């Protein structure tokens, strides 16, 4: 059965229906383009037509975009160019039909799907929340090259087009209507009726005036998009933003900017030719391949079965108890309430509850302003949270989580209180960042319902949740916890109960190595600057200040006991804490903090006994030492099966620690360096600096076998 078919619901009106029989969602690939060509040939042969409606045959879903797997697999530039030009040709045939064309959009309409809709004269979309329009290609290291980069500015203006293309953000139907991307947002039940009405409206116009096009609305829009000076300012501002966000590490934004600038005011075919030339280099480049891999891994984490028995399904979580109203507790409460979960927020300190509710209020208002959510929606979300100083009324909730101080005895007391008050099938979860989940479960009558659920701060921004399986955690509990993480919009990575789990365990050698470099005389600014140039969002000392020096020292103590040979707590860190430096929370750490501004504290060097700074002859040597420490620890995590595979470890480090996505992940970076080189450098550093650099056994095994962390083994 073809992906595209032609239906005739009314005389002289046809529906061009996309319904991929092999997939749950519609995806544009070479086979789909061939079917579209055949369907258009059938439509072109009909001389009695008065209009065409493009729609999906899948309820609640339009077109999810191009085939991501195909993008990841193509390695030949000319093959990419040929495919893009073929898409241009077939989309141009749709645009050139002599009768009005309207896209009727219900559900996800992304990437190539939106580009196909742009080839129609007009677009309408359903008002359902499931309807989202946008161009996420920039997140895969490319840009919309099936005509989107060329057609979009002609429809919504340059400034709005740049915003959509360069950010990858999506719009609901009402916002798309305000922007001009669609002509009208309508109730889903009447979508096709309105599509036919739109065809009739367009049919009464001259052929040259049927296509929706951009018209500046108001003096501000004209100043930006209605003249060459304004467009120049818009392009310059977009270039500055692209440099600030990724510089030359992400080549797709500057490529998209060049295509849009050079195509402005020129014939459509010129812009399409530019799209094909520029995107062909991007698709076969390493950044695109790495970002596509990350996308696939995140889809795995969100969709793959959690346990072997498919009959085990997650229990419904309608309400939860949250103990601990600190910064983390407030963030978790806001996230849960945003996703329709009632939260009973408990803390013995009324001021802490007040601060948590203030955090919730701030986050709700910030998100409401961005989404233009009505006040009643924001009030309804806040009404989902019930603060309390006791544990009464917690018999009914389905899930309990604690976010209290990182102390084993305190957390055990919390769960002892919760277990006797909650239903026997309710899940108990700890947000610990370093304590043993199995040790926390000791003393519980039903340890099978206990697991770890480790958020990263700030909760509303960090996408990762480490779901920790303790020694006695049941399959049902694990499946329910992963299901909850997915419902909350987070990316869950399942890890076994090991000291520091995955992210903190790998970060600690990195931070320890930064401290060692500081004690050797290298500067705070030099070390942080080197790692930021490598691609990390913050340097190691900036991270320590954000986390809190006291918190980092406590985690280092836990990991130091588990791995004394390579993670012993830093004496320099202890000296800074003793001097009253805790980081951002009290304004003094490695940096002095004033609001959003910070500067290196000049007294730190004297406090740690290194008054004279030392300059690195080559900053890359600093980067090498810190990244090798992470790679080596990551290899040990794989040996110990803390995480299932290298892909999930890479995903955890990108989403939980900010490892640069363009490098594809920590272990993909190791493979790019070459594992033989990694092992050689580790051995050289071991001879110079000590046993903490001893190469992991799993790493040496891969070197001996000629294997890699992230690629299939070589063929015999």
> In the prediction, which pLDDT does 712 show?
60
Per-residue pLDDT tens for 287-331? 999 999 999 999 999 999 999 999 999 999 999 999 999 889 999
Active-site residue flag, 454: yes
| Cα–Cα distance for residue pair 47/49, rounded to 1 Å | 6
543 belongs to a structural domain: yes
186 belongs to a structural domain: yes
Q: Looking at residue 67, which CATH number applies to its domain? A: 3.90.226.10
Write down which residue in 284, 299, 328 finishes a domain.
284
The SS3 assignment for 407 reads coil
Task: Looking at the structure, tell me whether residues 481 and 510 fall in a common domain.
Answer: no
Per-residue pLDDT tens for 348-402? 999 999 999 999 999 999 988 887 788 899 999 999 999 999 888 898 999 999 9
Task: Looking at the structure, tell me whether residues 603 and 692 fall in a common domain.
Answer: yes
- Counting the structural domains of the chain, the total is 3
Task: Looking at the structure, tell me whether residues 509 and 487 fall in a common domain.
Answer: no
Task: Looking at the structure, tell me whether residues 482 and 550 fall in a common domain.
Answer: no
Write down which residue in 239, 262, 284 finishes a domain.
284
> In the prediction, which pLDDT does 232 show?
84
Strand positions, DSSP E, 573-677: 591-594, 597-600
Nearest one of 83, 69, 84, 1 to 35, comparing CA atoms = 1
In whole angstroms, how large is the CA radius of gyration of the chain? 28
297 belongs to a structural domain: no
279 belongs to a structural domain: yes
Task: Looking at the structure, tell me whether residues 451 and 488 fall in a common domain.
Answer: yes
384 belongs to a structural domain: yes
| Cα–Cα distance for residue pair 98/49, rounded to 1 Å | 9
Active-site pick, 15, 88, 454, 553: 454
**Which residue segment(s) compose the domain that 365 sits in?**
319-496
296 belongs to a structural domain: no
Count CA within 13 A, CB hemisphere, residue 426: 22
> In the prediction, which pLDDT does 241 show?
87
305 belongs to a structural domain: no
Task: Looking at the structure, tell me whether residues 681 and 627 fall in a common domain.
Answer: yes
Instruction: Give the sign of the dihedral formed by CA 116, CA 118, CA 121, CA 126.
Output: positive
Q: Looking at residue 338, which CATH number applies to its domain? A: 3.40.50.720
Write down which residue in 455, 475, 496 finishes a domain.
496
646 belongs to a structural domain: yes
Q: Looking at residue 599, which CATH number applies to its domain? A: 1.10.1040.50
Task: Looking at the structure, tell me whether residues 66 and 116 fall in a common domain.
Answer: yes
| Cα–Cα distance for residue pair 34/38, rounded to 1 Å | 6
CA–chain centroid gap for 677, Å, is: 31
Task: Looking at the structure, tell me whether residues 414 and 280 fall in a common domain.
Answer: no
Task: Looking at the structure, tell me whether residues 373 and 513 fall in a common domain.
Answer: no
Q: Quick one: tokens of 635? A: 């290899």
Q: What is the pTM of this model?
A: 0.93
The SS3 assignment for 520 reads coil
Task: Looking at the structure, tell me whether residues 484 and 514 fall in a common domain.
Answer: no
Task: Looking at the structure, tell me whether residues 657 and 701 fall in a common domain.
Answer: yes
Instruction: Output the DSSP codes for 212-229.
Output: ------HHHHHHHHSSHH
Task: Looking at the structure, tell me whether residues 488 and 610 fall in a common domain.
Answer: no
Residues 313, 392 contacting (CB under 8 angstroms): no
Q: Which residue stretches of the chain have pLDDT < 50?
A: 715-716
């Amino acid at each position: 059965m073809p992906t595209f078919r032609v239906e005739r619901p009314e005389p002289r009106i046809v529906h061009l229906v996309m319904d991929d029989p092999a997939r749950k969602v519609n995806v544009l690939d070479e086979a789909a383009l061939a079917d579209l060509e055949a369907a258009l040939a059938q439509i072109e042969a009909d001389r009695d037509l008065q209009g065409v409606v493009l729609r999906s045959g899948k309820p609640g879903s339009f077109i999810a975009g191009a085939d991501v797997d195909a993008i990841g697999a193509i390695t030949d530039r000319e093959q990419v160019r040929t495919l893009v030009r073929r898409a241009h040709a077939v989309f141009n045939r749709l645009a050139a039909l002599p009768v009005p064309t309207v896209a009727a959009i219900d559900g996800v309409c992304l990437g190539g799907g939106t580009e196909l809709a742009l080839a129609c004269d007009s677009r309408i979309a359903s008002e359902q929340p499931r309807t989202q329009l946008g161009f996420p290609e920039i997140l895969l290291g490319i840009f919309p090259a099936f005509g989107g980069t060329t057609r979009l500015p002609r429809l919504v203006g340059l400034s709005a087009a740049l915003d959509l293309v360069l950010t990858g953000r999506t719009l609901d139907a009402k916002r798309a209507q305000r922007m001009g991307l669609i002509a009208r947002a309508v109730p889903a039940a009447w979508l096709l009726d309105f599509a036919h009405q739109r065809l009739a409206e367009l049919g009464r116009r001259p052929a040259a005036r049927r296509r929706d096009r951009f018209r500046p609305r108001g003096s501000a829009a004209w100043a930006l998009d209605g003249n060459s000076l304004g467009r120049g300012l818009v392009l310059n501002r977009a270039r500055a933003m692209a440099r600030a966000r990724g510089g030359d590490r992400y080549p797709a934004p500057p490529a998209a900017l060049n295509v849009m600038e050079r195509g402005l005011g020129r014939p459509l075919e010129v812009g399409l030719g530019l799209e094909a030339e520029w995107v062909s280099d991007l698709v076969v480049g390493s950044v695109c391949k790495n970002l596509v891999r990350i996308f696939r891994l995140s889809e795995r984490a969100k969709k793959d079965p959690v346990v072997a028995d498919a009959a085990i399904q997650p229990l419904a979580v309608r309400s939860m108890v949250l103990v601990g109203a600190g910064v983390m507790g407030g963030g978790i409460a806001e996230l849960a309430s945003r996703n329709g979960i009632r939260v009973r927020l408990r803390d013995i300190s009324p001021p802490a509850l007040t601060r948590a509710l203030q955090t919730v209020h701030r986050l709700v208002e910030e998100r409401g302003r961005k989404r233009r959510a009505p006040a009643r929606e924001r009030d309804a979300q806040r009404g989902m949270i019930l603060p309390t100083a006791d544990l009464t009324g917690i018999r009914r909730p389905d899930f309990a989580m604690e976010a209290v101080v990182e102390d084993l005895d305190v957390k055990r007391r919390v769960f002892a209180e919760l277990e006797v008050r909650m239903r026997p099938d309710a899940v108990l979860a700890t947000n610990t960042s370093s304590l043993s989940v199995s040790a926390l479960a000791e003393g519980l009558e039903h340890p099978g319902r206990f697991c770890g659920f480790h958020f990263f701060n700030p909760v509303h921004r960090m996408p990762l949740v480490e779901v920790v399986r303790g020694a006695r955690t049941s399959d049902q509990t694990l499946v329910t916890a992963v299901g909850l993480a997915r419902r909350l919009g987070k990316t869950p990575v399942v890890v076994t109960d090991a000291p520091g789990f995955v992210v903190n365990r790998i970060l600690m050698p990195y931070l320890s190595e930064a401290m060692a470099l500081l004690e050797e005389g290298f500067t705070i600014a030099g070390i942080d600057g080197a790692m930021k140039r490598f691609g990390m969002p913050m340097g190691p000392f900036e991270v320590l200040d954000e986390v809190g020096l006291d918190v980092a020292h406590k985690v280092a103590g836990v990991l130091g006991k588990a791995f004394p040979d390579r993670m012993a707590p830093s004496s320099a860190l202890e000296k800074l804490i003793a001097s009253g430096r805790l980081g951002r929370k009290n304004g003094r750490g490695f940096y002095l903090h004033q609001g959003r501004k910070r500067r290196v504290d000049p007294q730190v060097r004297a406090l740690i006994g290194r008054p004279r700074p030392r300059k690195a002859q080559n900053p890359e040597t600093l980067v090498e030492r810190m990244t090798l420490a992470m790679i080596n620890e990551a290899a040990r995590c794989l040996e110990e099966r803390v995480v299932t595979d290298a892909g999930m470890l890479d995903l955890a480090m990108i989403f939980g620690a900010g490892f640069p996505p363009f490098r594809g992940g920590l272990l993909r970076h190791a493979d790019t360096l070459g594992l033989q080189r990694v092992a050689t450098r580790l051995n050289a550093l071991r001879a110079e600096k000590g046993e903490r650099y001893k190469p992991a056994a799993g790493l040496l095994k891969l070197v001996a076998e000629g294997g890699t962390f992230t690629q299939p083994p070589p063929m015999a």
